[in-house]
Structure 1
Amino acid sequence: MTSPRRAPLDVPALRRDLLTPSGPLARLDVLHVSASTNTELVDAAGRAPREWPAPAALVAEHQAAGRGRAGREWQTPPRAALTVSVLLRPRLAPARLGWLPLVAGLAVARAVTAAGVDGAALKWPNDVLLPAADDVPGLGPFRKVAGVLAEVVPDARDDATPAVVVGVGLNVDQAAAELPVPTATSLAFAGAVGADRGALLGVLVRELVGVVRRLEVADGDAVAAGLGREYAAASATLGTLVRAELAGGRGTVEGEAVRVAADGGLVVATPAGERTVTAGDVHHLRTTGSQPGHSPR
């Protein structure tokens, strides 16, 4: 018998709530199992773009080989997490697409707050954290509750609006023994036992579509849209000494994370001057000021 805490998603109810004309989505598919919702949605939208109008969402009750940054794989027990990928066709210049994983993190943090868990913070560029009682290397007094992965959909049509798939893996019901690594946490572990994955999905999708529309209205200017300020207020990275391991083995950058650039890159103040990190793994070393709640410079 299925535990109420891990009941299957009520797909008819989700479709009534989330599909147009009254909801934010043009299409919603729910799978029993997927190796990776991002991989499946990127492939499907690339093969048949007209069958996947945006915004569209692909949800998996169980993701067997989820993907994170740098090709890292992860998986969760069936129905213990919210694993969803959202197809967007944002009317943004390519140079502004770097803000998508950042504002997606804001959307996830708001869904976490709506579930009754306080203190969600954002680690640049794609992690959502919750406060912890002790420090761990690379995160400080936090544990990871969710990750975001944004991928551009290859499309050969010259007139196509660029499509981006934003994938989210949010730990919902895992007990401590079910968490993949000691640096992870879940909503249940943080006290939100029995959090409803369907309700989380609804908040997350609405928040994500909303922040992307705000970016579009502001022509991709996150500061003008007010999103730069909101991101800085929730950031666990800004105001912290960090070490950034650059993508492709291009070395490291160490210094204070001082702000987010117009393209979504992380600006780090080093002894040799400011450096902007656009891709890489960031490790928190120690806090230099009060955060989250850092004021943008």
Structure 2
Amino acid sequence: MSTMSRTPLDVELLRRALLRPTGPLARLDVVAESASTHADLVARARTTTAQAPALLVAEHQTAGRGRAGRSWRTPPGAALTASWLLRPDVPGTALGWVPLLAGLAVVRALATTGVEARVKWPNDVLLPHADEIDGFGAFRKVAGVLAEAVPGPAHPTVVLGVGLNVDQEAGELPVPTATSLRLAGTVADRGDLLAAVTTELLGLLGRLEAADGDATGCGLAEECAAASATLGARVRVELAGGAEVLEGTAVGLTDDGALVVATEGDGSVRERVVTAGDVHHLRLAGA
């Protein structure tokens, strides 16, 4: 167990910073424990009375959801486990940008602490690491993003979850490909990080709304590309359901946020487009 004091979030300070009329949120809840903040907000999103944008934060998450149904849990007070209920006023075709903008928001929030992070398309935030590891290269995962469109009376509704490792020691992390801010040598206040992520996220979504979902035209696509650890790299893409494995170079993003992978074969180069829903695993190839 960490010898560092794990201070609870200052709820009143967060409310003053983030709730309307001075902040961007319509609702903010901080709970001691949740099986999954994401699942809790999905249930709330199905009701006509659900306020948005709303934020639910748990000091301790026991069965958090990751991509492909993977579970994720954190020691009390050691991480940020938060989910936002959003109703972005954009065409449905632009919703693929929501998780990418969330990753960019986390990168920019971490930059306020002096940490230089990168985004692995579509949903991981990475920190540089001295040693290479298969599939991640010289990076380790410090945060994950999960976005889910929720059918209901208000459309479009998206529940967006972020899990950010802040104070965990090596023995408290689930896999060797993970890291925390503490292990990277950074002491950060979870409340400050939460406020920064929220402000960045809603600011980026506001720009997407103002552009009617045109991430390319308003410059957001270029900003996501600049923060990417995937673009320009050789990648191995395992498609969902074991349908296919692609290996090639990640060369760009489409207008709806999908990844373009250039594959080689028979003396020619072919560009394939994969969406986040298509992908089971994406790893750096030949690392």
Q: Please state which band the TM-score falls in when normalised by the shorter chain.
A: over 0.9
Amino acid at match of 2:73: Q
SS of the residue 1:109 aligns to? helix
Structure 2 counterpart of 1:191 = 185
Structure 1 counterpart of 2:203 = 210
What is the deviation of 1:49?
A: 3.2
In the TM superposition, what whole-angstrom CA distance separates every residue of 1:102-123 from its partner, at most 9, and x where no partner exists? 0100001111111222x20000
Q: Does 1:227 pair with 2:225? A: no
Structure 1 counterpart of 2:251 = 258
In the TM superposition, what whole-angstrom CA distance separates every residue of 1:20-73 from its partner, at most 9, and x where no partner exists? 001011000111111111000000121x332x2211000000010111110011
Q: Does the CA-based 8 Å contact 1:109-1:128 persist in structure 2?
A: yes
Structure 1 counterpart of 2:124 = 127
What is the deviation of 1:3?
A: 7.2
- Rounded Cα–Cα distance in structure 2 between residues aligned with 1:286 and 1:113: 29
In the TM superposition, what whole-angstrom CA distance separates every residue of 1:215-254 from its partner, at most 9, and x where no partner exists? 1111111111211111111110000111111123221111
Amino acid at match of 1:147: G
What is the deviation of 1:261?
A: 0.8
Q: Does the CA-based 8 Å contact 2:41-2:56 persist in structure 1?
A: yes
Q: Does the CA-based 8 Å contact 1:148-1:167 persist in structure 2?
A: yes
Q: Does 1:103 pair with 2:96? A: no
Q: Does 1:21 pair with 2:21? A: yes
Q: Does the CA-based 8 Å contact 2:247-2:285 persist in structure 1?
A: no
Structure 1 counterpart of 2:38 = 38
Structure 2 counterpart of 1:246 = 239
- Rounded Cα–Cα distance in structure 2 between residues aligned with 1:222 and 1:106: 13
Pairwise mapping of residues 2-151 of structure 1 onto structure 2 (< 5 A)? 5-46=5-46, 48-50=47-49, 52-117=50-115, 119-151=116-148
Q: How many corresponding residue pairs?
A: 279
- Rounded Cα–Cα distance in structure 2 between residues aligned with 1:49 and 1:189: 43
What is the deviation of 1:154?
A: 2.0
- Rounded Cα–Cα distance in structure 1 between residues aligned with 2:19 and 2:51: 12
Structure 2 counterpart of 1:293 = none
**Ranges of 4+ aligned residues in structure 1 off by more than 2 Å:** 2-5
Q: Does the CA-based 8 Å contact 1:105-1:127 persist in structure 2?
A: yes
Amino acid at match of 1:223: T
Structure 2 counterpart of 1:290 = none
In the TM superposition, what whole-angstrom CA distance separates every residue of 1:67-109 from its partner, at most 9, and x where no partner exists? 1110011111111000100111011111111111001000011
User: RMSD over aligned Cα, in angstroms?
Assistant: 1.5
SS of the residue 1:30 aligns to? strand
Gaps of 5+ in 2: none
Q: Does the CA-based 8 Å contact 1:240-1:286 persist in structure 2?
A: no
- Rounded Cα–Cα distance in structure 1 between residues aligned with 2:144 and 2:30: 20
Amino acid at match of 2:63: A
Pairwise mapping of residues 269-280 of structure 1 onto structure 2 (< 5 A)? 269-271=262-264, 272-278=269-275, 279-280=278-279
Pairwise mapping of residues 149-168 of structure 1 onto structure 2 (< 5 A)? 149-155=146-152, 157=153, 160-168=154-162
Q: Does the CA-based 8 Å contact 1:76-1:180 persist in structure 2?
A: no
Instruction: Give me the TM-score of the superposition, normalised by structure 2.
Output: 0.94
SS of the residue 1:5 aligns to? coil
In the TM superposition, what whole-angstrom CA distance separates every residue of 1:174-213 from its partner, at most 9, and x where no partner exists? 11221111100101111112x1111000000000001111
- Rounded Cα–Cα distance in structure 1 between residues aligned with 2:239 and 2:5: 40
Summarize the Cα distance change of 1:134–1:4 in structure 2 as closer, same or farther, 3 Å threshold: closer
- Rounded Cα–Cα distance in structure 1 between residues aligned with 2:64 and 2:123: 15
Summarize the Cα distance change of 1:201–1:286 in structure 2 as closer, same or farther, 3 Å threshold: same
Gaps of 5+ in 1: 288-297
SS of the residue 1:49 aligns to? coil
Percent identity between the aligned chains? 62
Instruction: Give me the TM-score of the superposition, normalised by structure 1.
Output: 0.91
Q: Does the CA-based 8 Å contact 1:31-1:61 persist in structure 2?
A: yes
Summarize the Cα distance change of 1:221–1:286 in structure 2 as closer, same or farther, 3 Å threshold: farther
Amino acid at match of 1:190: A
